Amino acid sequence: MEFTHLDKQGKAKMVDVGDKNITTRTAFATGKIILPVKIMKAILDNSVPKGDVFSVARVAGIMGAKNTSSMIPMCHPLLINSCSVDFNIDEKNSLIKVKCTVNVDGKTGVEMEALTGVSVALLTIYDMCKGIDKGMVITDILLEKKTGGKSGIYERGK
């Protein structure tokens, strides 16, 4: 088996994507944060002392996706076409599901950007709410779907 991120001497290297075709590539990832009830109430009442949790987490997630290559060593810098971060509130179970969708026309995929966007948005929710209660749990960060590139479509569960 040949490792794509190692040279012949076993040293780390970035994959050469120079000969790959530019294709439209999309990825979306999700993750959850389970919250103590008092935090869910503060978020819904917009009474978190640090401000509007969703606005800040949305911008943070987009910034995380845009800066993935500066945090994950073997990721290529990408000129992202679009990035969105959305929230699904499950008040009954006191959790928030975060979804990040990233689109690019490029030579390499955007899975890591979508996963990073979700992760940074979730961490931002934690940061903004930790003064109320540190008992939050970040969980289930995963790639749901990706399209484009040589490997084609991947859909979780299919």
d(CA 109, CA 77): 11
Q: Which residues pair with 86 in a beta bridge?
A: 99
Q: Which residues pair with 12 in a beta bridge?
A: 6
Q: Are the C-beta atoms of residues 30 and 102 closer than 8 Å to each other? A: no
Q: Are the C-beta atoms of residues 99 and 32 closer than 8 Å to each other? A: no
Question: How is residue 147 written in tokens?
Answer: 């399209």
Active site residue 127: yes
Residue 120, C-beta contacts closer than 8 angstroms, at least 6 positions apart? 60, 61, 63, 64, 65
Question: How is residue 5 written in tokens?
Answer: 């991120």
Of 7, 90, 127, 140, the catalytic one is 127
Question: How is residue 120 written in tokens?
Answer: 């940074």
Question: How is residue 43 written in tokens?
Answer: 């978020």
Let me know if 158 is exposed, middle or buried by CB neighbors in 10 A (0-12, 13-18, 19+): exposed
Residues serving a catalytic function are 127
